[in-house]
């Protein structure tokens, strides 16, 4: 459900207008990109926040499930929780939504560029946090396996 909300919301927000400009695009092109977005589709697509909350619940639940006193590395579930919370928090900053809310008032090209660049960098940081979550959860899962028993002689 969380994945459907995340992918569906992003698809709705990107479905109108031209493709997203590259990271180094001029400010006028980024301003035009924001102006061509359909505000209704963007508002409906913002429901992906529900998918982010579901992802946060998943991160918290997995962290709690792997937090066992018998494990050797009790710090791994904490790293999982922190990494997952950073990933969700990074996307919930809402720089694109802030830019879209100012379209009617005349969004300055430099502010549009700043919101776009901040959103792009935040997206990259989210992937780094999800990578940290993946590594920590994989190590925590491997750490919860029982120790191998010596073979009988």
DSSP 17-50: SSPPPPTT--HHHHHHHHHTS-HHHHHHHTTHHH
Distance CA 3, CA 53 (A): 11
- What pLDDT is recorded for position 80? 93
pLDDT confidence of 145, banded at 50, 70, 90? confident
- What pLDDT is recorded for position 131? 95
Look at the pTM and tell me if it is higher than 0.85. no
- What pLDDT is recorded for position 89? 87
pLDDT confidence of 112, banded at 50, 70, 90? confident
pLDDT confidence of 71, banded at 50, 70, 90? low
| Average pLDDT rounded to a whole number, residues 20-45 | 78
The tokens 């494990």 sit on which residue? 71
Q: If 0-12 CB within 10 Å is exposed, 13-18 middle and 19+ buried, where does residue 90 land?
A: buried
The tokens 């459900």 sit on which residue? 1
Q: What are the backbone angles phi and psi of residue 85, rounded to the nearest 5°?
A: -65, -40
- What pLDDT is recorded for position 103? 64
């Amino acid at each position: 459900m969380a994945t459907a909300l995340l992918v569906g919301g992003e698809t709705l927000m990107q479905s109108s207008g031209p493709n997203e400009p590259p990271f180094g695009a001029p400010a006028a092109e980024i301003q035009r990109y924001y102006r061509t977005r359909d505000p209704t589709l963007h508002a409906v697509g913002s429901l992906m926040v529900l998918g982010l909350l579901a992802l946060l619940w998943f991160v918290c639940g997995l962290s709690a499930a792997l937090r066992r006193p018998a494990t050797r590395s009790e710090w791994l579930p904490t790293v999982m929780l922190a990494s997952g919370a950073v990933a969700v928090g990074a996307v919930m900053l809402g720089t694109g939504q802030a830019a879209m809310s100012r379209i009617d008032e005349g969004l300055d090209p430099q502010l549009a560029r700043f919101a776009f660049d901040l959103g792009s960098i935040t997206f990259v940081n989210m992937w780094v946090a999800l990578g940290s979550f993946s590594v920590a959860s994989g190590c925590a899962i491997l750490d919860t396996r029982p120790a191998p028993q010596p073979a009988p002689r």
